[in-house]
Structure 1
């Protein structure tokens, strides 16, 4: 099982990276949520952590919206 982090902006969804462990993915997710560039950019709407499944579907584990 892998975990994927994606950002959402006005143009769509951008895959940031894949992680083998949930702990690594959560750390990267927290880092992106606190990143000053993402917070001030204005075009990035949010970031999400998704658990990838074998059937090709994913389940959202966490979501953070930038104001």
Structure 2
């Protein structure tokens, strides 16, 4: 089982990284919520953590939306 942090912006979605534990993914997820570049960029819409297991569909564990300015 892996947890992938994904950023969502005006052009689509991009994987930030995959992690073996939910705790590791949450550390990156929470750090990006406060990242100056993500906050200042304006095109980044949000972040999500997706749980991926072999043989089943990915499942969103957490999501966060940046405020629109």
TM-score (norm 2): 0.90
Q: Could you list the runs of 5+ residues in structure 2 that have no partner in the other structure?
A: none
Q: Could you list the runs of 5+ residues in structure 1 that have no partner in the other structure?
A: none
Q: CA RMSD, aligned part only?
A: 1.0
TM-score (norm 1): 0.92
Instruction: Spell out structure 1 runs of 4+ moving beyond 4 A.
Output: none
Aligned residues: 67
Whole-Å Cα distance in 1 between the matches of residues 56 and 39 of structure 2? 31
